[in-house]
Amino acid sequence: MLKPKPTQGDTTWFIHDRFGMFIHWGLYALPSRHEWVQSQEQIPPEDYYRYFERFNPTKYDPRRWAKAAREAGMKYVVLTSKHHEGFCLWDSAYTDYKVTNTPYGQDLIAPFVEAFRAEGLRIGFYYSLLDWHHPDFLIDVFHPLRNHPDVARLNEGRDMKRYAEYMRNQVRELITQFDPDILWCDFSYPGRDYHGLPGKGRDDWESEELYALIRELKPHIILNNRMDLPVAADIYTPEQVQPLEWVKVDGEPVVWEACQTFSGSWGYFRDELSWKDEGQLIRMLINTVARGGNLLMNVGPTSHGTFDQRALDALAVYRDWMALHSESIYGCTQSEYQEPQDCRLTQNGDKLYIHVYAWPFKHLMVPELAGKVSYARFLHDGSEVALKPTEWSASQLQIGDHVLVLELPMKQPDVVVPVIELALT
C-alpha cells in the first residue's frame, strides 16, 4: 500500500477518519452572496459595517450542527474563526471586530467546541491570513479598497509587522483557549502584484515565527499548506477540484484533504443554483478516499445560525449512504489493485471495497483477483455476491483466468453507489 510522507502533526486519526465538515460563517452570511462579497463588490469598511451592526444569530444552536455532522458520518470539523473580512467569532482580546460586540453579544466558539466534542468530533480552526478590516493590513490585490483613488495615502502608516504580531496573538488565543487538533491558515499570494500593490506571502505573515509559535504551543497540531512555508505543511489542500491521483509533492505522496462545497461558494449564498446532486456528493467522497485523501465538505450557515434546507438535504445524502457504507471509507485508502470498469476501489487491510458507479449487466469483472477472494457481499444489506467459477468465466466471457467474475442482481440495489466488499485470502 502507498504510504504518505510522515508528518510532524498527528495525522494518524486524520487519515483514519477521512471525512470532515468545513464551516464558513461570518458577517458575509447576511448579504448571502459569497464570503468574498466585500472584495468582489469593493465595499468600503464603513459600508460593510452594516452587517456587523446586525449580526444576531438568535437561532444558533451548535448542538444541532454537531448532530447533523455526526449523523452524516463526519468525524471532524473546521470552523472559520476569522475569514478574510477580519470578523472574529470568538471574544479575542486583540480586536473590537468580534462577535461579542455585535447585537448577539456572546462568544460563538466555546459552545461550538463543546457541542462538537460532545458528539465525538475533533475540532479545527480556519484562520485567514488576509484581513480586510485590520488597520495595519496593507491594501493589495484582493482588498476592497484596492481601486480607491488615494490608495497610496491609505497605505501610509499601515504596518504589516504589527499585523503579523496580531495574528500570532490571535493564534495563541485560539490554541490555548480551545486546544484545536487542526489549524487551517488561508492563504498566500506572493506573486500577485496589482498596480504596484504587492501580493503577500511568508515575509508578510512572518510565517516562520508563526509556525514556531504554533509548534511550541501544540507540537502535533495538524497544519495545512497555505502559509507559504513548505516546512509547515502536514496536509495539502486541493480546493474545488477532484484529483485523479494521490496528491504528490516533489514526487512523494503526501497527506491530503480536498475541500469542497455543496454549491460553489463557501459562505451562505441564497441565490446559488449549482447544488450538487446526490451522486456527485457520494462519488466525491469515494473518489477522494480511493486516492488516499480526506474530504472536507463545507456548509455555509445562514445569518440566523441555521443550516438551510438545501444543506440539510445534502447532509442527509451522506447520512443515508454512510449509515450503510462507512466501512468502505473509515480506515480505508487507495488500493494497489486495478479498478474494474466504472468502479473505484478502497482498501482496509484484507478488505477490498468495490464502489460501482455504473451498474453493469449481470457480471462484474475484477482484474487480478481470481482465486484471491474468499467471500463477497454487499455492504448495504450484507447479502452475498456469488463468485463465478474461473473456468466458466474464462470460457463464457473470453477473459483471462486472472479475472474474478462476480454475479450481480439485474437491477442496481437502491442506494446511490452500491459497494461490494471482497474478503481477500
Contact residues: ligand GLC, CB under 6 A: 24, 35-36, 186-187, 239, 259, 266
19, containing H or E segment: strand 19-23
- 24 versus 388: smaller Cβ distance to ligand GLC: 24
Classify residue 356 as left (phi > 0), alpha (psi -120 to 50) or beta: beta
Q: How far is the CB of 318 from ligand GLC (least distance, A)?
A: 19
**Smaller CB distance to ligand GLC: residue 119 or 257?**
257
Rounded Cα gap, residues 21 and 260, in angstroms: 10
> Measured from the CB atom, is 42 or 412 closer to ligand GLC?
42
CB of 269 to ligand GLC, least distance (A): 12
- The pairs formed by 196-203 with CB atoms below 8 angstroms and a separation of 24 or more are 197/138, 197/139, 197/140, 197/141, 197/143, 197/146, 197/151, 197/155, 198/138, 198/140, 199/140, 199/141, 200/129, 200/130, 200/138, 200/140, 200/160, 201/228, 202/227, 202/228, 202/229
d(C-alpha 79, C-alpha 58), whole Å = 19
Least separation in angstroms between residue 24's CB and ligand GLC is: 6
The region that residue 247 occupies, defined by phi over 0 for left and psi between -120 and 50 for alpha, beta otherwise, is: beta
Say which amino acid occupies 296: L
Q: How far is the CB of 334 from ligand GLC (least distance, A)?
A: 23
Whether 404 contacts 387, CB under 8 Å:
yes
CB-nearer residue toward ligand GLC: 204 or 421: 204
Q: How far is the CB of 36 from ligand GLC (least distance, A)?
A: 6
Minimum CB–partner distance for residue 226 and ligand GLC (Å): 7
Nearer to ligand GLC, 39 or 95 (CB): 39
> Which residue number, 116 or 126, has a Cβ lying nearer to ligand GLC?
126
